[in-house]
Structure 1
Amino acid sequence: MNKVKNETAVQTKQLFIGGEKVEAPRYAPLYSPYSGEQIADIAMADQELTTKAIDAAYEARDIMKNMPAFERAEILEKVSVLLKERLEEAAQIISMESAKPITFSKAEVSRTIETYKFAAEEAKRIHGETIPFDAATGGVGRIGYTVREAIGVIGAITPFNFPLNLVAHKVGPAIAAGNTIVLKPASQTPLSALYIAELFEEAGLPAGALNVVTGPGGVVGDTIVEDDRVSMVTFTGSVPVGIGIRSKAGLKKTTLELGSNAALIIDKGVDIDAIIDRCIMGAFSNQGQVCISLQRIYAHEEVYEAFVEKFAEAAKQLKVGDPFDPETYISAMITKRETERIAEWVEETKNSEAEIAAGGNLTNGVFEPTIITNAHHELNVSCSEAFAPIVVVNKISSVEEAVAEVNHSKFGLQAGIYTENITHALYAAKHLHVGGVIINDVPTYRVDHMPYGGVKESGTGREGLKYAVEEMTELKLIVWNQN
């Protein structure tokens, strides 16, 4: 396997607590998912150090709560400016620690810049409403209004697949709302989280407002979730971990963005040539390691054959290899264990009626973009979350049949439909049991200020800056008696 083009020496990364770098009793090596080379030594926090981070956040909560909105907005805006100045550097960090192809890493940094801009804007738009108390007979002579107040300390646990932007989706609205944060990044991608903490420090964020604690989830994560001083936990990751957080969180607020196996319906009459590139992006960007990665496609029988042929041909043209090569579209999955898992899932399909139209193999340790047809919904590649460069394409005879197939899932994050028929579009919008329906685009579509979240085992709560701010604040009612 080619070596990652990383000229940086192995770094030692401490914890970031109370505005300072803090040593840990133990460090663990961090390796490149693509080359296998060591890229850093990462501090492994224990319960005591995690508690110290919570202490720092708890002590800083009044400073953040009382900070004027315009000052919080200025800090967030400054971070977006600093990140724009250092886009290339930030993208290199993402590719180094996650093997995300550099083209996609640059796109993530650009999105993150926008996310912090949205957060800065939302910091100035947090407000309540007046209540018409005289609408009730007992309300005459009274005036009432609501305000939104910071909730306090927020525990944020983030995944590896968008290590900069999904951190921004938790840190940005938390700061906008006047909260403090204890952040546990994914074990494979701590570098970008520590990098953004340094930018916040440079931007003038008070010490203790953002603390980054790296280490094992069973220690760091559990300590965050179970500490009574943490008022809310926001988590993006797997269903089992999300269920565990929900059971341990007690009466804390939780936002849980969990699993998915996002589906797309392709209706008859759709121009297949016009949608192939979007389907390629939806299924294979970031090695398919996207919460709303296009995993299932239900194509109408009138367009099925043409779609499979053109889709498979396009997938075979994608360049596989070094994430630092600007031409690379597919690189290594996050761990060898994940690669082995998806290989087993593909092998499982060979004992069924399913067929492999493209891919299905390893090339220098990188799993090829894979298309499977005629896969029964009980196969893992259909019913579970692949989180890999793999997509299933099945034939359907009507939109109603397709909607039923999409809904035949324990997940419900987003789904898409391509159609020229407005009745079919409206039917899908009404009957798809998901958090978001995307019409005439893939379900992988997301902009960072839209409400984002799912139903069923896809989780609870919504992200997207305005909606996350609502989750991260408490509503307080004030009533004046004029009688």
Structure 2
Amino acid sequence: MVNTVTIIPFWIDGKACTSAEHLEVRSPHDGAPAGTTCHATPADIERAVASAHAARHETARLPAHVRAGALDHVSHRLAERSDEVAALITAESGKPLMWSRAEVSRAVSTFRWAAGEARRHSGELQRLDTDAGGTGRIALVRRVSRGPVLGITPFNFPLNLVAHKVAPAIAAGSPIVVKPAPATPLTALLLGELLAETDLPAGAWSVLPVPNEAAGMLVDDPRLPVVSFTGSGPVGWSIRDRVPRKHVTLELGGNAAAIICPDWTDLDFAARRIATFATYQGGQSCIAVQRVYAHREVYQELAERVVARVTELGTGDPTDPATAVGPLISEDAARRVQGWVDEAVAAGARVLTGGTRDGATVAPTVLADAGEHCAVNAEEVFAPVLTIAPVDSVDEAFARVNDSRFGLQTGVFTTDVQLAFRAATELDVGGVIVGDVPSYRADQMPYGGVKDSGIGREGLASAIADFTEERVLVLTGVEL
């Protein structure tokens, strides 16, 4: 009897395709097969790009109800198939099922919000008779598609970060070619199934598993004038340097901090939120809590509560609905993290809990007395590891947050409204979350950072603005 493997197709022009270059995807938890797909060949890449280029005018002219209808359809179908999609996210990424379900729920909302933005995408009128020379003139300022988008997505949110490329592109009338992460392409391909059920024209979208070393063919192609990248900093900045004449947006991560001010009294709430969001997704989130700066008045009690909460979490089988912390994406990633923890300890840091590794799984870890320039503080650890340190003032906390090459989001636990506004002014980050951890993100709000955390913003309206440019129509001889 011959064993046969079901090949999951990729998508070009809304059509399912395969190649002879098979790609087997396995769980980082136990190596169990999650599914087999194919790498797109150079000929497949050329066909997808040529199709997106050819479809750019038709896609830009799609009526709002067609764009919105397609996005609503995907939202509804994701909701209907939510259990299946969540199980697939867990199978290929090792993300605990509880967090995979949360990701599907967010993607449902992301497509729903995009449908609303597609319906609101109208432009604005400007009267020009504010000066005598403009008498009888009015301007219609609209945003029009810049052209086809190349969306490059990471492994840590294999559905919702794909949604944050695809949904605003469709809403903006821009064809999109998606390159999902090689470690987690299957969820993006399932999303392709749902897109194939819509009335979007051929060429409006393609989903291509492509090895990272072959991605330059897509990045360099002038027929893809917009590149939207989420992933590591070195790769992102190299893309921007490589194609300086393209419109490039980069979401590159950070080392997010939480500040606990002396007026904050609910330390148990703060500890629970810090423990949960330092370790969620295995810590593999750009805004996972990595650094905690607590005023000395509350430091000791907070540290004890954080350690107790983190210790309760433990690790386990990501398919178990009770598991909160799963593996990292690979054993190589876990070895890197273990090396960073060992380096910090050798430099004087104390392990309050965790500090160990089992294969691809890093135990939830809390470090005290870690030097500010140790990798666990200065770099993006991307693991369930956090450092906690006392500060003598809010000024010191703000200075430590800003003494970083990253600047994505910061959480400030305070009830002082004046201090909240001061934080928003003085902290050199893309977002300040008051009364909670930096890990909060609403998918409709502008999201992104400064410094090495990237350029541009995600969030539906913000991404649509990045994928479009202003075009002005002036009408003459109009009585206002």
Q: Of residues 256, 259, 283 in structure 1, which corresponds to 2:250?
A: 256
Distance 2:5 2:383 in 1: 28
Distance 2:256 2:358 in 1: 26
Aligned pair 1:224/2:218, yes or no?
Answer: yes
Query: 1:398: which partner in 2?
Result: 393
Aligned pair 1:373/2:368, yes or no?
Answer: yes
Q: Of residues 286, 299, 304 in structure 2, which corresponds to 1:304?
A: 299
Query: 1:160: which partner in 2?
Result: 155
- How far off is 1:282 after superposition? 1.6
Query: 2:413: which partner in 1?
Result: 418
> Higher mean Cα deviation, 44-53 or 378-387?
44-53
Counterpart amino acid of residue 251 in structure 1? R
Query: 2:237: which partner in 1?
Result: 243
Aligned pair 1:39/2:27, yes or no?
Answer: no
Query: 2:120: which partner in 1?
Result: 125
- Per-residue CA deviations over 1:386-408 (Å, capped at 9, x if unaligned) read 01110110110110100000000
Query: 2:461: which partner in 1?
Result: 466
Q: Of residues 87, 91, 94 in structure 1, which corresponds to 2:86?
A: 91
Aligned pair 1:53/2:48, yes or no?
Answer: yes
Query: 1:3: which partner in 2?
Result: none
Contact 1:10–1:39, Cα closer than 8 Å, also in 2: no
- How far off is 1:252 after superposition? 1.5
Aligned pair 1:170/2:161, yes or no?
Answer: no
Distance 1:143 1:314 in 2: 61
Distance 1:170 1:364 in 2: 32
Contact 1:99–1:331, Cα closer than 8 Å, also in 2: yes
What secondary structure, in the 3-state scheme, does the structure 2 residue paired with 1:13 have?
Answer: coil
> Higher mean Cα deviation, 222-231 or 41-50?
41-50
- Per-residue CA deviations over 1:220-259 (Å, capped at 9, x if unaligned) read x212211111121101001111111101223211111012
Q: How does 1:277-316 map to 2 (within 5 A)?
A: 277-316=272-311
Q: Of residues 474, 477, 480 in structure 2, which corresponds to 1:482?
A: 477
CA 1:430–1:10 in 2, change beyond 3 Å: closer, same or farther?
farther
Aligned pair 1:344/2:320, yes or no?
Answer: no
Contact 2:317–2:323, Cα closer than 8 Å, also in 1: yes
- What count of residue pairs does the alignment treat as equivalent? 474
> Higher mean Cα deviation, 35-44 or 151-160?
35-44
Distance 1:49 1:201 in 2: 18
Distance 1:142 1:85 in 2: 50
Counterpart amino acid of residue 71 in structure 1? V
Distance 1:401 1:174 in 2: 42
Distance 2:89 2:34 in 1: 12
Distance 1:175 1:427 in 2: 38
Aligned pair 1:233/2:235, yes or no?
Answer: no
Query: 1:324: which partner in 2?
Result: 319
What secondary structure, in the 3-state scheme, does the structure 1 residue paired with 2:432 have?
Answer: strand
Distance 2:347 2:211 in 1: 39
CA 1:15–1:402 in 2, change beyond 3 Å: closer, same or farther?
same
Distance 2:472 2:263 in 1: 53
- How far off is 1:215 after superposition? 1.8
Aligned pair 1:73/2:73, yes or no?
Answer: no
Distance 2:359 2:188 in 1: 29
- Per-residue CA deviations over 1:97-122 (Å, capped at 9, x if unaligned) read 00000011001101100110000000
Q: Of residues 98, 103, 106 in structure 1, which corresponds to 2:101?
A: 106
- Per-residue CA deviations over 1:185-220 (Å, capped at 9, x if unaligned) read 00111000000011011133322211011021221x
Distance 1:434 1:365 in 2: 31
> Higher mean Cα deviation, 140-149 or 165-174?
140-149
> Higher mean Cα deviation, 346-355 or 99-108?
346-355
Distance 2:286 2:360 in 1: 23
Contact 2:412–2:437, Cα closer than 8 Å, also in 1: yes
Query: Normalising by structure 2, what TM-score?
Result: 0.96
Counterpart amino acid of residue 286 in structure 1? Q
Contact 1:119–1:172, Cα closer than 8 Å, also in 2: yes
What secondary structure, in the 3-state scheme, does the structure 2 residue paired with 1:347 have?
Answer: helix
- How far off is 1:365 after superposition? 4.3
Distance 2:244 2:360 in 1: 43
Q: What is the RMSD of the two structures over their aligned residues, measured on CA atoms? A: 1.5
- Per-residue CA deviations over 1:341-362 (Å, capped at 9, x if unaligned) read 0000001012122111110112
Distance 2:308 2:218 in 1: 47
Distance 1:92 1:325 in 2: 11
What secondary structure, in the 3-state scheme, does the structure 2 residue paired with 1:254 have?
Answer: strand
Distance 1:131 1:158 in 2: 38
Query: Normalising by structure 1, what TM-score?
Result: 0.95
Counterpart amino acid of residue 233 in structure 1? V
Aligned pair 1:386/2:381, yes or no?
Answer: yes
| Matched-pair identity in % | 43
- How far off is 1:140 after superposition? 2.7
- Per-residue CA deviations over 1:248-290 (Å, capped at 9, x if unaligned) read 2232111110120001100113221122221122211000000
Counterpart amino acid of residue 335 in structure 1? S
Distance 1:247 1:300 in 2: 41
Contact 1:416–1:440, Cα closer than 8 Å, also in 2: yes
Q: Of residues 162, 177, 186 in structure 2, which corresponds to 1:182?
A: 177
- How far off is 1:364 after superposition? 5.9
CA 1:71–1:334 in 2, change beyond 3 Å: closer, same or farther?
same
Contact 2:14–2:195, Cα closer than 8 Å, also in 1: no
What secondary structure, in the 3-state scheme, does the structure 1 residue paired with 2:313 have?
Answer: coil
Distance 2:431 2:232 in 1: 19
Distance 2:461 2:417 in 1: 30
> Higher mean Cα deviation, 338-347 or 14-23?
14-23
Contact 1:279–1:294, Cα closer than 8 Å, also in 2: yes
> Higher mean Cα deviation, 225-234 or 93-102?
225-234
Counterpart amino acid of residue 140 in structure 1? T
Q: Where does structure 1 lack aligned partners over 5 or more consecutive residues? A: 1-8
Aligned pair 1:205/2:204, yes or no?
Answer: no
- How far off is 1:10 after superposition? 5.3
What secondary structure, in the 3-state scheme, does the structure 1 residue paired with 2:304 have?
Answer: helix
Distance 1:404 1:138 in 2: 51
Stretches of 4+ aligned residues off by more than 6 angstroms? none
- Per-residue CA deviations over 1:40-74 (Å, capped at 9, x if unaligned) read 33312233321211112122222221210011101
